[in-house]
Amino acid sequence: MPVVCLVLAAAPALLNAPSVMEEHRDIRQSITYSRYGHTIRLDTLPAARWDDLAQYLATTAPDVLHFAGRGTPDGGPRFVTDDGGEAPAAVDGLHACVTAAVARGLRLLVLNACWTDHLAKELSSIVPAAVGWQAEVADTHARDYARSLHRNLAAGESVAKAHATGCLMLGLAGCAGLPQLHTMPGQLPEAHFLIGPEPRPVPRRQAVKPRPYDATSLRKPRPPLI
C-alpha cells in the first residue's frame, strides 16, 4: 500500500494570497525525485473548502495531511469560501476531522501557515506528529520548508530528521521564526518514519570465497629442546 499524502491547497485567487499551488508543485517534485518517492501517492484539493476535506476523509485515509494556506491568530486555518474569499475553520470541527483521520491511519499533520503552532501543539495530543508556525511566515520560507520536509521524508528519513533539516535550511535563508514539531506523548520523532521497511532494498552481501590451500604457509614444528 502506498503512503498517501494529502495537500490542502487552501488559498483563494486573491492578490497577495500564498502561492499554494506552487507549494504543491514543490512537494510533488521533491517526492518524485526522492529515493522512495515511488511509494508515495500525492493527492491535492485545490482551492480547498471545508466540505472538501470532510468528503475526502469520508473515502480516503491519508498518512500525511499537509495544509498550505493562511492561518488565524488563536483560530483555525483559513479555507476558501463559496464567494471566493476565505474564512477560518472552526477549531472543534477540525479537531473532530483529525481525530477521525487518526483512527484510520493519519500519522503526520503539517500546518504550513502562519499562527498555527498553538493548534499543532493541541492536535499533537491525538496525532503522532504535528508541525506549526508560531508567528507570520513568508511564502518563500513556507515553500522552502515544505520542499525540504517532503524530500527527506520520501528519502526514508525520520520525521525528526526531516524537520531538523528543513529548519537548518531555513536558518541559512535567514528565517527567524522556525516551525515547531510536536509529538504525541510517548512518541519519539526520531523513531517515526513514513517509509516502512518493505520498500527498502536488502543490501547485497558478497559471497566469501575459500582461500586455496597453500602448504608452504603452514608453520614448521619447532625442534624439541634438549
Q: How confident is the model at residue 210 (pLDDT cuts 50, 70, 90)?
A: low
Any domain includes 225: no
Mean pLDDT of the chain: 90
Q: Which of 62, 73, 143, 146 is nearest to 114 (CA)?
A: 73
Is 141 in contact with 20 (CB distance < 8 Å)?
Answer: no
Domain count within the chain: 1
Any domain includes 223: no
The whole domain housing 66 covers: 3-217
Any domain includes 74: yes
Q: How confident is the model at residue 103 (pLDDT cuts 50, 70, 90)?
A: very high
Q: Which of 152, 149, 105 is nearest to 127 (CA)?
A: 105
- Give me the CATH number covering residue 74: 3.40.50.1460
pLDDT above 90 for 175: yes
Task: Render pLDDT for 132-142 as a digit per residue (tens, 0 to 9).
Answer: 999 999 999 99
Any domain includes 226: no
Any domain includes 224: no
**Percent of the chain's residues with pLDDT above 90:** 77
Q: How far apart are CA 92 and CA 94, in angstroms?
A: 5
Measured from the Cβ of residue 125, the count of other Cβ atoms closer than 10 Å reads: 12
